[in-house]
Amino acid sequence: MNKNFLNLKDSYLFSTIAKKVNEFQKNNPNIKIIRLGIGDVTLPLTKEVITSLQNAVTEMGEVDTFKGYGPEQGYEFLRIAIKNYYKEKNVTLQTDEIFISDGAKSDLGNILDIFSSECISLIPNPVYPAYLDANIMAGRRVNFLNGNESNKFLPMPEDGNGGDLIYLCSPNNPTGATYTREQLKVWVDYANKNGAIILFDSAYECFVRDENLPTSIFEIEGSKTCAIEFCSFSKTAGFTGVRCGYTVVPHNLVQEGTQLNKLWLRRQTTKFNGVPYIIQKGAAAIFTPQGKKEVEENIKYYLENAKIIRNTFKELGFWFVGGDNSPYIWIKCPDNMDSWSFFDKMLTEANIVGTPGAGFGTGGEGYFRISAFGARENVIEAMDRIKKIYQ
Ligand code: MLT
């Protein structure tokens, strides 16, 4: 067996939470639990996406339009749609720099395949737990970057605490904090100077409303020689259960004379047979004019939820970050409570599920994440329940 697995926590954060919540519900069958824990979307797929999926299903049933194995890197129609989306951000990509994936999570772990096992990963703390777990499974050496209130949970390079693979997520999961252009430029310069690679998770980019904030690492000058970007349609278009995203590996990303794009292509053609045609057709519908409009409505809905949550905690005088350009609000637990005690209090007294900050790393101890992906009436009810306890 791979003994590295023994260094992992017994179960993945969201599985642990689900188990606790299910047990509470079993013992209290009449209680209405409001789930604002895992960042899972609640609005259904949009009309344009559904029509496209249905048409693709029909195509698969006709001999002339049936598709077998697709290109491992993804169908060109979707890669071109993504390329054009980047053009709107003034980022020029080549179609073969884009790789369609089944979501950001898989590739953020899979990417380790193309890097030397000697590499040190530099991982923020707190952070989306999948980064660290994937590194532990692969037996990688890890250094941590501390996020805290003084850096508003946006850690910057630190002397004497380096790494070869730098994981950055902006807008951030779990804190909802978003790096500015200037901050990302510092990271890009740091990576270029040190021959490091930034693994940039932009899964929440569609929630950025402030036009001064970057939505892609490739908006930053110099990034194409030091960064790989991972994105997903999960939060953008409700694809958490559909599974589709993409990874961008620029041609200019070269290590010791070799293009990493070639290594990634080689890896994908060997270990991946691509995302289903039907799903890619559904994803392409997100980029049509009507698809964009529909998806934007859903994003606005979640951001309005986030505003309701922010306003509640502002009113109650809690310290928090996020929720303005992201669907997560990261609050400081009141009365110096630790994250899991606050989780238990919320579950048992308010019957609300959030995510304990400590589940995202030691740096998250004493904090709590609330997701804005719930149904509006549930968000309002949850905030009323919290106000009843703390007002
Ligand atoms: C979260 O709640 O952190 C996310 O839903 C997890 C994910 O995107 O895999």
Q: Residue 216 Cα, ligand 1 centroid: separation in angstroms?
A: 19
Q: Residue 40 Cα, ligand 1 centroid: separation in angstroms?
A: 7
pLDDT for res 168: 98
| Residue of 13, 107, 128, 329 to test ligand 1 pocket, by largest number of atoms within 8 Å of CB | 128
Q: Residue 363 Cα, ligand 1 centroid: separation in angstroms?
A: 18
Query: What are the extents of the domains in the chain?
Result: 3-44+290-390, 47-288
* CB 361 within 8 Å of CB 27: no
Q: What is the CB-side half-sphere exposure of residue 176 using CA atoms within 13 A?
A: 27
pLDDT (mean) for 360-384: 97
The overall average pLDDT reported for the chain is 97
* CB 368 within 8 Å of CB 357: yes
Which residue's CA is minimally distant from atom 7 of ligand 1? 39
Q: What is the pLDDT of residues 124-161, one digit of tens each?
A: 999 999 999 999 999 999 999 999 999 999 999 998 99
pLDDT for res 10: 80
CA nearest to 243, candidates 275, 271, 269: 275
Q: Residue 41 Cα, ligand 1 centroid: separation in angstroms?
A: 10
* CB 152 within 8 Å of CB 171: no
Q: What is the pLDDT of residues 260-310, one digit of tens each?
A: 999 999 999 999 999 999 999 999 999 999 999 999 999 999 999 999 999
pLDDT for res 157: 96
pLDDT (mean) for 90-119: 97
- Around Cβ 22, how many Cβ atoms within 10 Å? 11
Q: Residue 38 Cα, ligand 1 centroid: separation in angstroms?
A: 6
Query: Cα separation of 139 and 122, whole Å?
Result: 14
Just give the CATH number of 47-288.
Answer: 3.40.640.10
| DSSP single-letter state for residue 238 | S
Residue 50 has pLDDT above 90, yes or no: yes
pLDDT for res 90: 97
In order of 94, 218, 259, 353, the CA distances from 252 in angstroms are 11, 12, 7, 44
Residue in the structure block whose two tokens are 């021959």: 195
Q: Residue 236 Cα, ligand 1 centroid: separation in angstroms?
A: 13
pLDDT for res 205: 98
Residue 390 has pLDDT above 90, yes or no: yes
* CB 97 within 8 Å of CB 79: no
pLDDT for res 12: 85
> Which atom of ligand 1 is nearest to 232's Cα?
8
> Which atom of ligand 1 is nearest to 14's Cα?
2
Number of H helices, E strands in the chain: 12, 15
> Which atom of ligand 1 is nearest to 40's Cα?
5
Q: How confident is the model at residue 316 (pLDDT cuts 50, 70, 90)?
A: very high
pLDDT (mean) for 189-211: 98
Is 47-288 in the same CATH topology as 3-44+290-390? no
Q: What is the CB-side half-sphere exposure of residue 331 using CA atoms within 13 A?
A: 26
High-pLDDT (> 90) share of the chain, % = 97
Residue 11 has pLDDT above 90, yes or no: no
Q: Is the overall model pTM greater than 0.85, yes or no?
A: yes
Pocket of ligand 1 (CB under 6 A): 38-40, 105, 128, 173, 234
Superfamily of chain region 3-44+290-390:
Aspartate Aminotransferase, domain 1 (3.90.1150.10)
pLDDT (mean) for 209-216: 97
pLDDT (mean) for 242-248: 98
Angle CA 319–323–328, to nearest 5: 95
